[in-house]
């Protein structure tokens, strides 16, 4: 269950038991038990009834008085006679305990029909208004325990009146820093600055780290943050001597809602460290940050259901899987999902072609590109697959090759500039030219060594095909033709319906001799970049023998084509 849902459940218990604004420290205690010690809601509810605060309020009350008090706390009224009689009997006879009564009344107040509508709208509105006040107190870091919720009604003005009574959060100075654990920091810490009062200009947190090492800090600005270019939310990390270890900010980032950044700091020893949150020019900001220890330093990291965020946690894939295609996403499930790593064991040296495409769901943002890098086992970079203006939106793709100098382990890393969302698919195809077996993906003529053999008679009639249509690996078409005589040959090429129109992203036909010498490059600026365009030119065959035709399209756009070869 998400942490916000658990928090709401705890706030509901505070209201039903004590009818007061919940204190943040208390809420965090119960959340820690639920998230780290697997306490159920029922366990928390039962433990509430064992606290001193409960004893002070409920000792000496009869079962009927307890029922009445819980109803008043939740609904500002006593139960109807039938309900009061039933619950009093259940308590008196020992069929239920107080915690079960509390949960039952909460459930009744918030019960919904099959359409998701509250069955008792006024009761739900009143109770949720009380929860809204406590949720606000938690967000601003209030630890007050003496503000009653008894004046809250269905009228929203009563909510604002009680909110105004909540004092400024206590952690505005380092000496008043809120103590947090690493476990809490891994789950995420939420707060706000400059919201409740002009004196709420900073939030300070104190964290005790049990081991030296590298720690990664993630920070995001939430809904409610006042948008203002360059008036940024800033997170700084200090050691116990006030030395600055991290200044997490970047021009044009963290100055509006739904923006986030990450960076690392080095803890040189176990001990206390301090986190400070501020906002330029005292603008409002709502934030969330988390701290993740680095596995590379022997520390245990919360995987947050994204276990392959670091090279040391790389997902192992086989070449067969990579040939079929690997799909994933980054920066989608959590702000800590900043990279995907894969480990692949290659059984042979040679050239490998990597194809990557961005899928639906990728946030469009010019030049904030999705990047794929390939590393050898010594962290040497073999490939950086990116190109200006590509892979920065859905349905874009690129290809390139890397050289595996030996059999062994290699690593693939996927990231996105400025941490934007990206959904991706990549594949790795070994090169037949290096004696490796390639998956043909129903397009067997993607390489010269797999060229489709055609006769001159067939070429005179016309050869049709397509590229970049069936699969991202369909990046070229190769043909092999055996000419029985030297001479001049004329090549005609036309683009057909279905060809993606894009000025200057041209379809190109090249003719090579058997020694890979280029005899013809059939393209012209502004031609063959849309359907129903055509060109012709000649090449000279110096002798009888085998010749090769290659069809490609600039920037991997779709193209349907027809070409013919005649004797001039």
Chain segment 503-518, per-residue pLDDT in tens: 878 899 999 999 999 9
Shared domain for 10 and 152, answered yes or no, is: yes
Shared domain for 183 and 218, answered yes or no, is: yes
Cα separation values, 501 from 130, 496, 554, Å: 59, 11, 12
Shared domain for 182 and 145, answered yes or no, is: no
Q: How far apart are CA 429 and CA 324, in angstroms?
A: 9
Shared domain for 14 and 155, answered yes or no, is: yes
Q: Is residue 232 part of a domain?
A: yes
pLDDT along the chain (568 residues), means of 10: 87 96 91 92 94 94 96 95 94 95 95 91 95 90 86 95 78 83 88 69 92 88 86 92 90 78 89 93 87 64 56 88 88 68 93 88 84 94 84 83 94 85 88 52 68 94 84 78 96 92 87 95 83 92 96 83 94
- What does the angle CA 531 – CA 534 – CA 537 come to, to the nearest 5 degrees? 155
Question: Considering 434, 457, 478, which residue would you say is the last residue of a domain?
Answer: 434
Q: Which residues pair with 539 in a beta bridge?
A: 489
Shared domain for 228 and 194, answered yes or no, is: yes
Predicted pLDDT of residue 1: 64
Predicted pLDDT of residue 483: 96
Predicted pLDDT of residue 508: 92
Return phi, psi of residue 504, to 5°. 75, -5
Predicted pLDDT of residue 262: 79
Shared domain for 10 and 127, answered yes or no, is: yes
CB of 283 closer than 8 Å to CB of 201: no
Predicted pLDDT of residue 67: 96
CATH number at residue 86: 1.10.3130
Name which of 106, 30, 22 is nearest 70 in CA terms: 106
Shared domain for 369 and 279, answered yes or no, is: no
The token duo for 555 is: 């920037």
The token duo for 484 is: 């029985």
**pTM score:** 0.45
Q: How far apart are CA 481 and CA 453, in angstroms?
A: 6
Predicted pLDDT of residue 494: 94
Q: Which domain holds residue 533?
A: 448-567
Question: Considering 274, 297, 320, which residue would you say is the last residue of a domain?
Answer: 297
Q: Is residue 303 part of a domain?
A: no
Q: How many domains does the chain have?
A: 4
Predicted pLDDT of residue 303: 40
Q: How far apart are CA 490 and CA 537, in angstroms?
A: 6
Q: Is residue 443 part of a domain?
A: no
Shared domain for 16 and 127, answered yes or no, is: yes
Name which of 178, 177, 197 is nearest 27 in CA terms: 178
Shared domain for 183 and 275, answered yes or no, is: yes
Question: Considering 119, 140, 163, which residue would you say is the last residue of a domain?
Answer: 163
CATH number at residue 230: 2.60.120.380
Shared domain for 18 and 146, answered yes or no, is: yes
Predicted pLDDT of residue 442: 45
Shared domain for 187 and 317, answered yes or no, is: no
Q: Is 77 exposed, middle or buried (0-12, 13-18, 19+ CB in 10 A)?
A: exposed
Q: Is residue 562 part of a domain?
A: yes
**CB burial readout 315-332, b (16+ within 10 A) else e:** eebebeebbebbebbbbb
Q: Which residues pair with 355 in a beta bridge?
A: 399, 427
The token duo for 21 is: 């604004």
Q: Is residue 441 part of a domain?
A: no
Q: Is residue 230 part of a domain?
A: yes
Shared domain for 358 and 234, answered yes or no, is: no
Predicted pLDDT of residue 470: 57
Q: Is residue 460 part of a domain?
A: yes
Q: Is residue 8 part of a domain?
A: yes
Predicted pLDDT of residue 333: 54
Predicted pLDDT of residue 472: 57
Mean pLDDT of the chain: 87
Q: Is the dihedral of CA 219, 222, 224, 230 positive or negative?
A: positive
């Amino acid at each position: 269950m998400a942490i916000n849902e658990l928090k709401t459940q705890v706030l509901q218990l505070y209201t039903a038991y004590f009818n007061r604004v919940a204190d943040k420290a208390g809420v965090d205690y119960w959340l820690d038990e639920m998230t780290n010690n697997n306490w159920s809601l029922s366990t928390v509810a039962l433990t509430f009834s064992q606290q001193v605060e409960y004893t002070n309020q409920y000792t000496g009350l009869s079962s009927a008085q307890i029922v009445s008090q819980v109803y008043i706390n939740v609904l500002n009224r006593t139960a109807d006679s039938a309900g009061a009689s039933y619950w009093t009997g259940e308590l008196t006879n020992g069929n239920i305990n107080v915690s079960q009564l509390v949960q039952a009344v909460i459930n009744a107040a918030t019960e919904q029909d099959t359409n998701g509508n509250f069955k008792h709208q006024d009761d739900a509105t009143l109770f949720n208004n009380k929860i809204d006040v406590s949720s606000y107190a938690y967000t601003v870091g209030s630890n007050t325990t003496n503000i009653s919720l008894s004046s809250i009604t269905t009228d929203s003005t009563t909510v604002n009146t009680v909110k105004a009574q909540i004092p400024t959060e206590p952690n505005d100075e380092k000496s008043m820093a809120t103590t947090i654990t690493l476990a809490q920091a891994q789950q995420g810490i939420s707060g706000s600055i400059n919201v409740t009062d002009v004196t709420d200009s900073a939030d300070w947190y104190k964290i005790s780290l049990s081991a030296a090492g590298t720690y990664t800090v993630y920070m995001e600005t939430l809904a409610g943050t006042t948008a203002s270019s360059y008036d940024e939310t800033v997170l700084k990390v200090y050691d116990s001597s006030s030395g600055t270890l991290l200044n997490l900010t970047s021009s044009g980032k963290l100055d509006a809602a739904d923006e986030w950044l990450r960076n690392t700091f080095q803890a040189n020893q176990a001990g206390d460290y301090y986190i400070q949150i501020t906002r330029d020019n005292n603008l409002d900001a709502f934030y969330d940050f988390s701290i993740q220890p680095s596995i590379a330093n022997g520390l245990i990291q919360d995987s947050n259901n994204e276990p392959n965020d670091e090279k040391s946690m790389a997902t192992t894939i086989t070449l067969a899987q990579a040939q079929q295609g690997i799909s994933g996403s980054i920066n989608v499930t959590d702000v800590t999902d900043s990279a995907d790593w894969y480990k692949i064991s290659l059984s042979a040296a040679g050239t490998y072609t990597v194809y990557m495409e961005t899928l639906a769901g990728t946030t469009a943002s010019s030049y904030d590109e999705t990047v794929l890098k390939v590393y050898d086992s010594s962290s040497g970079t073999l490939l950086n697959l990116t190109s200006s203006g590509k892979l920065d939106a859905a349905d874009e793709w690129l290809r390139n090759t890397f050289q595996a100098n030996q059999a062994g382990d290699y690593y693939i890393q996927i990231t996105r500039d400025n941490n934007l969302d990206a959904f991706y698919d990549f594949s790795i195809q070994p090169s037949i030219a290096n004696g490796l077996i390639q998956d043909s993906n129903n397009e067997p003529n993607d390489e010269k060594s797999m060229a489709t053999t055609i006769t001159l008679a067939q070429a005179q009639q016309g050869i049709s095909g397509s590229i970049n249509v069936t699969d991202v690996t369909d990046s070229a078409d190769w043909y092999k033709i055996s000419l029985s005589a030297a001479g001049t040959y004329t090549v005609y090429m036309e683009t057909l319906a279905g060809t993606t129109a894009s000025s200057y992203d041209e379809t190109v036909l090249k003719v090579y001799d058997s020694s890979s010498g280029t005899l013809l490059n059939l393209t012209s600026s502004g031609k063959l970049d849309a359907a129903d365009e055509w060109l012709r030119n000649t090449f000279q065959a110096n002798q009888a023998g085998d010749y090769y035709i290659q069809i490609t399209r600039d920037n991997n756009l779709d193209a349907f084509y027809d070409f013919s070869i005649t004797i001039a």
